[in-house]
Structure 1
Amino acid sequence: MAELSWFNQIHREWQALKVHDAALDIEQFYRHVVSAYKSGFAPLESIATTANALLLSSISGAPYLGRKLLMQIGIDKHPALRVTYALSLFAGTGGDSDPELANRILVDVLKDENAQDKLKGLSAAALGDSARLGRGEALDVELAKARYEMAFGFGHREAAQTLAL
């Protein structure tokens, strides 16, 4: 019964995070997520999703805890964690901005044979944005086009729209 209660608590906290409920004890939620991971209850893909939700949350302290969660679990454990971390580096959510490092991480994800096509597509599209905008690298429209085409090849449909623009 204690496990069900614990699961229900995390579920309620997750629902509060999704709606940016300022009454959520974000520190307690963070501790619950870490405990769930350590007990084998939360897979790495769920940790990446939770970290992303924290990074994007308007709740005070949530972005910092999202970055902290990634660092504590270890970004090298799964491609989804690396992509989430790289995207936070572009925006500077939860910590410092470092677009050069973000680009290097995403290039590594593209080379990772264990990364799912969905993650590779997102990585290629973000790298296309970097080349198009000169974000962390020299502006290069041809490279941007090639990366958007690569992203589309991995099933990232939005890349085709960006390529068309």
Structure 2
Amino acid sequence: MATKKLARRLGLIRSRSAGPARGRPARSGREQLFDYLVVIDFESTCWEEGKRHRTQEIIEFPAVLLNTSTGEIESEFHAYVQPQEHPILSEFCMELTGIKQDQVDEGVPLKICLSQFCKWIQKIQQQKKIIFATGVSDLPTSEVKLCAFVTWSAIKEEIGHLK
């Protein structure tokens, strides 16, 4: 639910009264360019303030395919990932993320997770006729749908730890 609220606030989801993006008329105001968004919200290993001398690793890889016209989630991907460098989660990390040690122990290595994610992306591309444009010349015709990846990161917080 928080994903939808954030997407609406950022203007990434069209209002229900707005027409579909087919045909791509001239852009005006806040009309949404993308038919779909793949929203990713990683969780990673973490430690208490002052103990951040370790490299963070992805421990949860969730993604959803969000239809910007309807605001509905049309497909989901989820995997727990086994951390390799520091396989034991800190108490702080488990409390902060809600992820338990047994969940990552039963997870998959990141390489396998990425392979599974790529298969999921390929499947939704075929099913929904989605493309990921790399430039203005790549704007789709009416028979294909434009999609973008979005994620959230506390960059300011991360930079603060590097000082």
Q: Which entry has the higher C-alpha Rg, 1 or 2?
A: 2
More contact order relative to length (CA 8 Å, sep ≥ 6): 2
TM-score (normalised: structure 2) = 0.23
TM-score (normalised: structure 1) = 0.23
